[in-house]
């Protein structure tokens, strides 16, 4: 199994582990982080453990397609959220990214920093051509994050997200390998084989 750690100025992104179930369950159970999320609040810890097991199984594949990282503050080894890069058909060299940051850490630039690092990993290390993201049209915080890292709004899908508040439109964002982006290229990607 491969162990991947990505580092930025304040963050460490590491592949999710089975011991993360409690902090992931706590994150998924917050009404604030669930507001614009289609996953919903888990019914119990077993549901969370099943989700984590599927992420870990993805990481054990010969060719990883779904990279789910725990986002941690480097200085404290403190879990603050999740970020996933889901790679599609190799012919198209594209992926989709999603993230979820604990409400205690909103407004501090952590989502932007984590997303920046994942974009660099995808476009530089994985040699992707395109990375996409979507967010509910009312999710102002996420819109700001996507635009800060240089992702471009390409469209709007009508009533595609089944949220607690009802059906929501979704903005579609993307960045391609030739687009200008915010990147801290001084922080290397560390790959460790276990």
Read off the pLDDT of each residue in 136-146 and give the average, rounded to a whole number.
Answer: 97
**In the block, residue with structure tokens 């989709």:** 96
The percent of residues above 70 in pLDDT, for the chain, comes to: 93
CATH superfamily of 5-130: Gcn5-related N-acetyltransferase (GNAT) (3.40.630.30)
What is the pLDDT at residue 28?
A: 92
What is the pLDDT at residue 173?
A: 98
Write out pLDDT tens, residues 107-118.
Answer: 999 999 999 999
What's the pTM? Answer: 0.91
Q: Name which residue leads in pLDDT, 184 or 54.
A: 54
How would you write the chain as a 3-class SS string?
CEEEEEECCCEEEEECCHHHHHHHHHHHCCHHHHCCCCCCCCCCHHHHHHHHHHHHHHHCCCCCCEEEEEEEECCCCEEEEEEEEEECCHHHCEEEEEEEECHHHCCCCHHHHHHHHHHHHHHHHCCCCEEEEEEECCCHHHHHHHHHCCCEEEEEEEEEEEECCEEEEEEEEEEECCCCCCCCCCCCEEEEEC
Listed by start position, the domains of the chain span 5-130
> Residue 181 above 90 pLDDT?
no
What is the pLDDT at residue 186?
A: 39
Write out pLDDT tens, residues 50-77.
Answer: 999 999 999 999 889 999 999 999 999 8
Contact 130, 176 (CB under 8 A): yes
> Residue 40 above 60 pLDDT?
yes
> Residue 188 above 70 pLDDT?
no
Alpha-carbon distance 170 to 188, whole Å? 33
From 4-18, 31-45, 120-134, the region with the lowest mean pLDDT: 31-45
What is the pLDDT at residue 156?
A: 98
What is the pLDDT at residue 169?
A: 97
């Amino acid at each position: 199994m491969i162990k991947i750690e990505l580092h930025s100025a304040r963050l460490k992104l590491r592949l999710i582990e089975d011991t993360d179930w409690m902090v992931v369950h706590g994150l998924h159970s917050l009404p604030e982080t669930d507001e614009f999320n289609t996953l919903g609040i888990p019914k119990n810890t077993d549901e969370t453990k099943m989700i984590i097991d599927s992420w870990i199984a993805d990481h054990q594949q010969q060719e990883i397609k779904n990279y789910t990282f725990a986002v941690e503050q480097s200085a404290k080894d403190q879990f603050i959220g999740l970020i996933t890069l889901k790679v599609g058909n190799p012919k198209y060299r594209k992926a989709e990214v999603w993230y979820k940051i604990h409400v205690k850490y909103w407004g501090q630039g952590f989502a932007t920093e984590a997303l920046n690092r994942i974009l660099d990993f995808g476009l530089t290390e994985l040699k992707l051509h395109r990375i996409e993201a979507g967010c509910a049209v009312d999710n102002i915080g996420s819109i700001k994050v996507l635009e800060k890292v240089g992702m471009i709004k390409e469209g709007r899908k009508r009533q595609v997200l089944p949220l607690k508040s009802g059906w929501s439109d979704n903005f579609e964002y993307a960045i391609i390998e030739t687009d200008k982006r915010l990147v801290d290229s001084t922080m290397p990607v560390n790959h460790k084989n276990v």
